[in-house]
């Protein structure tokens, strides 16, 4: 017997950074749960790949090449989605970037690029979609991507950690401000997942073993691990949850 609280039939979901990795996994999972998908990313080829996966499995999906750092492009992109589907019920702010570098070597350009992608872009996408949700009057769900670095310090990841700590604060503040409109704002904090962005780390066998020793479940995350958590937070099953950040980390944070 299925639980209808997890059913996203009739919902329209926007996922940023959906061309690969966790964004692709989340987009596919939302489509499998019944949502219609509106996907953005800078990588057009990757976007087409995600769209094909959804369409081939009977889903409904449109795409738009968009860089979340380009704030002026958010409005027109969103307008195109609304023209197609009429509304937006779910937003997943997944677009992100990282560049591992000692702090003394971080320049302004790198700082601005990481913070603008991970934090600034997420806020202005949230602002645009939140306004639509409030005007529609039927609420909605926003899910941001935090990180383990939202909670712990990681050497050589200062701009990334600063941006993801900001996302955590933004999540809590928006949840409090927008609750009267029925808009829930939550976040995921993925642990160690092997994606294109993190692949350089996984080339080091010693690093892999060190990380596995720190994870109580003794394994890295998989697409299905993040997918289930995302569907939950986007669904009515989480209707009384807002302002929360859910670590999906195999117990890493609990064991520190």
Cα atoms found within 13 Å of the Cα of residue 74, Cβ hemisphere only = 24
Look at the block and give the residue holding tokens 């990180």: 147
Domain boundaries of the chain, sorted by first residue: 4-255
| Per-residue model confidence as pLDDT tens digits over 25-76 | 999 999 999 999 999 999 999 999 999 999 999 999 999 999 999 999 999 9
Q: What superfamily does domain 4-255 belong to in CATH?
A: NAD(P)-binding Rossmann-like Domain (3.40.50.720)
160 is catalytic: yes
Strand, helix or coil at 112? helix
Average pLDDT, the chain: 95
Of the pLDDT bands very low, low, confident and very high (cuts 50, 70, 90), residue 1 is: low
Tens of pLDDT, residues 93-111: 999 999 989 999 999 999 9
User: pLDDT digits over 224-247, tens only?
Assistant: 999 999 999 999 999 999 999 999
Predicted TM-score (pTM) of this structure: 0.96
Measure the CA angle with vertex 216, ends 23 and 94; round to 5°.
15
What would the pLDDT profile of 114-140 be if each residue is shown by its tens digit?
999 999 999 999 999 999 999 999 999
DSSP one-letter code for 4: G
Q: What is the token pair recorded at 198?
A: 């993190």
Which of 160, 181, 192, 240 is catalytic? The answer is 160
CB atoms within 10 A of CB 251: 14
CB 119 within 8 A of CB 108: no
| SS3 assignment, position 92 | strand
Residue 45 is predicted with a pLDDT of 97
Other C-beta atoms lying within 10 Å of the C-beta of residue 5: 11
Q: Which residues are CB-neighbours of 83 under 8 A, at least 6 positions away?
A: none
The pLDDT tens digits of the residues spanning 134-159 come to 999 999 999 999 999 999 999 989 99
Map tokens 């995600």 to a residue.
50
């Amino acid at each position: 017997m299925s639980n209808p609280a997890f059913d996203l039939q009739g919902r329209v979901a926007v996922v940023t950074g959906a061309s690969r990795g966790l964004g692709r996994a989340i987009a596919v999972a939302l489509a499998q749960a019944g949502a219609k998908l509106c996907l953005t990313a800078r990588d057009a080829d990757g976007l087409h790949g995600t769209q094909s996966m959804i369409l081939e499995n009977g889903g409904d999906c449109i795409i738009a090449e968009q860089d979340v750092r380009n704030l002026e492009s958010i409005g027109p992109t969103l307008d195109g989605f609304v023209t197609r589907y009429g509304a937006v019920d779910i937003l997943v702010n997944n677009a992100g970037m990282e560049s591992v570098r000692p702090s003394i070597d971080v320049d302004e350009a790198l700082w601005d690029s990481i913070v603008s992608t991970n934090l600034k872009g997420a806020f202005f996408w949230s602002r645009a979609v939140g306004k639509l949700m409030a005007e529609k009057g039927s609420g909605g769900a926003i899910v941001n991507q935090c990180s383990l670095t939202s909670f712990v310090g990681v050497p050589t990841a200062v701009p990334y950690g600063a941006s993801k700590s900001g996302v955590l604060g933004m999540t809590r503040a928006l949840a409090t401000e927008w609750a009267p409109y029925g808009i829930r704002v939550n976040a995921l904090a993925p642990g160690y997942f092997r994606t294109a962005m993190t692949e350089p780390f996984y080339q080091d066998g010693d690093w892999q073993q060190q990380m596995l020793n720190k994870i109580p479940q003794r394994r890295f995350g998989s697409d299905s691990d993040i997918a289930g958590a995302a569907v939950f937070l986007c669904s009515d099953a989480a209707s009384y949850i807002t302002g929360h950040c859910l670590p999906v980390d195999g117990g890493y944070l609990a064991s520190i």
